[in-house]
Structure 1
Amino acid sequence: MTPHPAPGATAWLRQEEHSLFAFATASAVPDGFGWLDTRGAVVDDRPTETWITARMTHVFSLADLRGEPRAGRLADHGVRALASGLLHDADHGGWHDAVPGDAGSEGRDQRARKGAYPHAFVVLAAASATVAGRPGARELLTRALGVIEEHFWDEDAGALLESWDPAWTTTEDYRGANSNMHAVEAFLAAADATGDHRWTRRALRIAERLVHGVAREHGWRLPEHFTPDWQPLPDYNRDEPDHPFRPYGSTTGHLMEWSRLLVHLAVALEQAGEPVPPWLEIDARALYDHAAERGWGTDGNDGFPYTLDWADTPVVRERMHWVAAEATLAAWALDRRFGEDARAGHYDRWWRYAARHHVDTEHGGWHHELDPEGRPAGGVWSGKPDTYHAYQAVLLPQGTLAPSVAGGLLPTTTPGGNL
């Protein structure tokens, strides 16, 4: 009898890749891609949102590069929805957070704002679809980058503004690390797709401000909320600590994600023929090591609590699937870059946990949230909204370490990795 492959092994990753793709195919709706429930059906009373539509367009573009049947058609559906569907603002440009008239995830009409977070994912989706050669993707990428250039990029700060009203007249009195972190990912993907390394340099500026500046100055804990002049707000949302996008405290999963992105950034700079600042790799290691030490099992149970306070005490103890996914990817990227066996051991541990607790072998997809004992929960995230984090987690270790996920899947690359 052939032994079942271990979680994280290539055969297991490939099997889970197919499973996640099959689960995700049910998300298509006329306006883009919808929010899936625990059994993989679209939740009818939730809006079609830009961030989910963009993330799923990115996923289906990656799946197309992998040769999945139907993936190309689904990627094309997403490109069309973003380019000319109701999510796009034909009057003022850019993208609504959700289809106008729908109540958003926070219970309000999401026409009221246009956020950097969903716009970063539009760039990512368009870049990945461009690499996959999907029709209309390059035009969408050009348009999305133009919106970033005109409305979000702050050259003086070297980072993004957070959000605007629909007509681009008033910007939010807040700056956020989360949207800027995803802008790093999106800018690296855009540079990979276009060859324009202005976006690589901008990704470096964001990372230098938030990681080499703020995180390093705070003992490798990253305050994520700021005033308009980038002064940290450590008590922001103390009264709403489990906010899905702007939680109070330090978010271990984002430290892992930043660690991986710094490695991708170093690779991107090398490929662009530009100098790689030594701090990039030093900080990548420091972020990962502190996140692993402070976050894993810190409340006595396996897994990473969602958030910690500034003394590293768990605040929200629920375990999120994206944190486990990003932990495996950070361990993989650091080991791939440096060949350090200690992180290879972490990779195995994080994958065993994800396979045991997050992977839903009954209904498909991953449980997005668990209670501290590892049982499915839904206080912060209900259902299984999208497969972006999980799909990347099973895909990256099968490809090469490149500036972007899509770039690492191109046929000209050679699958690799030390794990």
Structure 2
Amino acid sequence: MASTPSVASFKNRALKLESAESVQKLFDGIDLTGIEKLVMSGNTLGVDAGKGLAEVIRKMPNLKAANLSNIFTTRSIDEIPGALTPICTALAECPNLVDVDIGDNAFGQRAVDSVMPLLTNGPPLEVLKIANIGMNVEGGRSLAGALAGAAKRHRDAGVLPKLRTLALSRNLLGDGSAEAWANAISCYPTLERFESNRNEFRESGVTVIATALGGCTKLRRIVIEDAVVGNVDNDEVDGLVRGWKAIADLVRQSAPNLEMLHLPSCSFRTEGCEELVSALNDEFYPNLKSIRFDHNDFEDSHFQSFLTALKTKLPALSFMKVTTNDDLEDDPHLEEIGRILESRKGRFVRLHEDSFSDEDDVEVCSDDDANIAGEADPDTSVDTLIELLDKNLSV
């Protein structure tokens, strides 16, 4: 076990745990009352093992962070609820819990109810990572409603909600759940990091979510990927707030604190690209270090305008990716953008031969959210994310 007095980590041990006893044996000799961070990711738990882990968690009164990502590999959907429900019920009883990661379990909509005790009865969370759990539309609506309900419950008890990080990626949430997520987001103005990629949000969904994020005045990291911010079918609709306009307004509102702006594969189209670059010219962004505009429709005129922003409004920018746009070769404005970023000891990814694999994902919401002393997790600040991009690694 990799541990310190406050961290119990069994990360990536590939343990196949079947019984309560097999779990309890892992913790033999450990003072559970001193554990602040628990890491079980990269193992697989059956029903009885899940119940055993729940009993162990109940003996951790000072638990602050629980990483339970990827703990059901090879398990059937019939097994997972029986293991997950007691775990989430036990987590809800931990009064100091602030950080939970149950991502990369892909247990599907049938197991969403198993997560509910954590939100309906648990303490106010600061970090919630539920990426790639297979929510889909109905499950997404249910969890979003529970998250909004949790905020009301805490406020009624005189405790202000304090969620800072929300990671929702790879859940195929669709526009059918977007209103529910927008409502949940509006309950947490403390939000600093938002990540949503591969959720099949189209223009109406993007618009309501971006508008809700506009109420989060401390927003530092925005990741919206594989969405449609400009549906061609809406071009003739009078008075419609376009998705790209909602995103651009969000960027403007986030200018003082924004560190990361990743918007790849969002179908910005010409009007959207113009609006987004205008937003970067309209405000001063003292902390913005990383931008991804790849797989959109930026062209030379947009790069020319962006160059002005880079020189006057983006003093900290040191990473940018623009692959799969227009006018990428032999463009003097792109050449100058590259020179400026190089002079800042940064990186400009312009063509695919410059880039890391398209299969590599850099998750914006990383383990620095709950800085629990002890485990030597990699530093995942924006600077380090940029460095990892440069090394073709994913966090």
TM-score range, shorter chain: 0.3 to 0.5
Q: Which structure exhibits the higher relative contact order, with contacts defined as CA atoms closer than 8 Å and separated by 6 or more residues?
A: 1
Greater helix percent: which structure? Answer: 1
What is the TM-score when the length of structure 1 is the normalising length? 0.34
What is the TM-score when the length of structure 2 is the normalising length? 0.36
Greater strand percent: which structure? Answer: 2
